[in-house]
A = this chain, B = another copy of it.
Amino acid sequence: MKILVTGAAGFIGSTFVDFALSKGCEVVGVDNFETGLREFLSSALENERFQFIECDIRNESELKKAFSASSADWIVHFAANADVRHGTEQPRRDLDFNTTGTLNVLEAARLAGTTRILFSSTGSVYGEPEIFPTPENCPFPVQTSLYAASKLAGEALISSYCVGFAFTALVYRFVSIMGPRYTHGHVFDFMKSLRSDPTKLRVLGDGKQCKSYLHIEDLMDGLWLGIQSAVDKEFQIYNIGHEDTLLVDQSIGFIAERLGIKPELEHTGGKRGWIGDSPRIQLDASKLKLLGWAPKHSLRKAVEDTVDYLKEHPSLFEART
């Protein structure tokens, strides 16, 4: 099987590249290195089954060339603007990457004759749901962030390509993913802050936001299972996340303990850490579990592996501002 991975140099993308190579696949990676890192692909680049093409998904003509040259069986589309917090500062960015970029990917795939696609969507599309854990077919939610809106539009485009062009598609609604190569999110932000002052930590919101996470190894298993189980011309949506949740303050507790420090917490207050923050995220992953999936790692282990990785790679804190 040949898989083309967009966002191949990112945290999740590069891990998936290595995972797919370990399963014997041929892999073509595409990335623009805006947030992805070349070092994440160092192992893959030594594998003769891996090919890399530097390309931005916003560049439609380059993307078409890359896809046509690849003749892949599957597109695994991770490339995205992944920062949910800055939507109101850069309203066009989410749409450019996550919606128009996804349309570019679909068109490039269609023209290249590749009609199977896996898409990384987000549990944020549920906005502030009334049902917990939230299933895929919960009441039609209201969107609360540009990020989620742009991802939902991406889902919808993919779904309409299934109807209009007989695509096969898997949409995964991710919770926050943690583990090695994690370079973005609350553990990163907290550790960066604690590096400059380990005695105190400013926390956005009241610290009681209840969130779901997942270890990247469990994510890989879930994505792979979907690809193995995919039925031609079907469109499937799967929630993927641990059934357990962590309060933001609990998560900080695990980080501090692993670092051997006891910072004083300063909460900025309010139920939401930022505009569009969801005070509670807990996805119902029963549908994916019916395929035989179950997370192997606890959320504590996910936090600890992330902390350990970032401790071993302090240069990441310099690279990211």
Contact with B along A95-120 (1 / 0, CB 8 A): 10001100100110000000000000
Stretch at the interface among A46-54, A148-156, A202-210, A289-297: A148-156
Across-interface contacts of A144 in B (CB, < 8 A): 159-160, 163
**Smallest Cβ distance from A117 to chain B, in angstroms?**
14
**Contact present for A165 and B99 (CB under 8 Å):** no
Across-interface contacts of A142 in B (CB, < 8 A): 159, 235, 237
**Contact present for B163 and A153 (CB under 8 Å):** no
**Smallest Cβ distance from A228 to chain B, in angstroms?**
22
Across-interface contacts of A150 in B (CB, < 8 A): 153, 156
Say yes or no for A139: interface residue by CB 8 A criterion. yes
Across-interface contacts of A92 in B (CB, < 8 A): 103, 107
**Smallest Cβ distance from A93 to chain B, in angstroms?**
11
**Contact present for A149 and B143 (CB under 8 Å):** no
Say yes or no for A261: interface residue by CB 8 A criterion. no
Q: Complex Cα distance A141/B139, Å?
A: 9
Across-interface contacts of A237 in B (CB, < 8 A): 142
Cross-interface CB contact of A149 among B87, B145, B160, B276, cutoff 8 Å: B160
**Contact present for B100 and A163 (CB under 8 Å):** no
Say yes or no for A268: interface residue by CB 8 A criterion. no
Q: Complex Cα distance A104/B164, Å?
A: 27
Say yes or no for A43: interface residue by CB 8 A criterion. no
Interface size on A, residues (CB 8 A): 39
**Smallest Cβ distance from A130 to chain B, in angstroms?**
9
Across-interface contacts of A141 in B (CB, < 8 A): 140
Q: Complex Cα distance A37/B163, Å?
A: 33
Q: Complex Cα distance A136/B142, Å?
A: 10
Say yes or no for A137: interface residue by CB 8 A criterion. yes
**Contact present for B157 and A95 (CB under 8 Å):** yes
Q: Complex Cα distance A140/B150, Å?
A: 16
**Smallest Cβ distance from A61 to chain B, in angstroms?**
13
Q: Complex Cα distance A87/B153, Å?
A: 15
Say yes or no for A91: interface residue by CB 8 A criterion. yes
Q: Complex Cα distance A106/B92, Å?
A: 11
Which A28-71 residues sit within 8 Å CB-CB of chain B? none
Q: Complex Cα distance A137/B187, Å?
A: 35
**Contact present for B163 and A156 (CB under 8 Å):** no
Say yes or no for A265: interface residue by CB 8 A criterion. no
Q: What are 8 contact pairs spanning A and B, CB under 8 A?
A: A87-B160, A92-B107, A95-B157, A99-B99, A100-B100, A143-B155, A150-B153, A152-B153
